[in-house]
Amino acid sequence: MLIRQFQALRMHAPRQFKPVSSDSICVEIGAGKGKHALLFSSINPEKKLFAIERTREKFDAMSKQHLLEGQKNLETIHADAIPWIVHALYPKQVQQFFILYPNPEPHNPAQRWLNMPFFEFLLSRLAVHGTVTLASNIPEYIEEAEQQLKNVWKLPFEKQKIQSDSARTHFEIKYLERGELCQQLVIRKPEDYQTRFDDFMPLQGKTADLDGTLEHQHEQ
């Protein structure tokens, strides 16, 4: 499967976008109500986690719980993950990406994470020896992702069965209680791995106009 190049310069900045520093971080995409984000940041106080959620209701629930628990190393972001990553993140900045139980897009396979041109950009933001953890309760989703890793992205990975007492997300708890098989791929970036975006710096609130020059993106 041939994947076209991602058009990073066409990404508009999310509303109320704020740039981040170039320090080493972890990122959770589609954090939902924040169960994993809150747990991860609690047991890894030395790691800074940015938890991104697009849905307002889920983001508000995560923010409310974060306010109660008060983890200093957790930053909650209400945005679509793709433009936020393009505008915010630096090359080789992220030690760990978490994509836990994403929408399987049954009617639009091209929108699955490892089928999208954007995945190349995401890999450019991943540090050497950094990992992407992709979890799903759908065996076909995991199998397709394995094939993409072997044939398209050519990345090493470990396939793991998630233990029945795991409780990282509300979805994970529900699926395991039903007795469903939950699996994850832990994808690792080798030292010599290259992408076409390795020198691409964050846009930080800028976008390209139609002739390709950069313009500041103003709030509408």
Q: Classify strands 183-188 and 94-100 as parallel, antiparallel or unpaired.
A: unpaired
Given a cut of 50, whether residue 22 has pLDDT beyond it is yes
Other CB atoms within a 10 A radius of the CB of residue 138 amount to 16
29 φψ region: left (φ > 0), alpha (ψ -120 to 50), beta (else): beta
* Ranges assigned E (strand) in 2-48: 25-29
Architecture of the domain whose range is 23-198: 3-Layer(aba) Sandwich (3.40)
pLDDT value of residue 210: 43
Evaluated on CA atoms 217, 218, 219, 220, the torsion sign reads negative
pLDDT value of residue 183: 98
Task: State the pTM of this model.
Answer: 0.94
Domain range annotation of the chain = 23-198
Cβ pair 75, 13 in contact under 8 A: no
Question: 142-163: per-residue pLDDT in tens?
Answer: 999 999 999 999 999 999 999 9
Give 68's pLDDT tier (boundaries 50, 70, 90): very high
Cβ pair 27, 89 in contact under 8 A: yes
User: How far apart, in whole angstroms, are the C-alpha atoms of residue 20 and residue 88?
Assistant: 6
Given a cut of 60, whether residue 59 has pLDDT beyond it is yes
> For residue 99, which of 83, 78, 113 has the smallest C-alpha distance?
113
101 φψ region: left (φ > 0), alpha (ψ -120 to 50), beta (else): left
Give 205's pLDDT tier (boundaries 50, 70, 90): confident
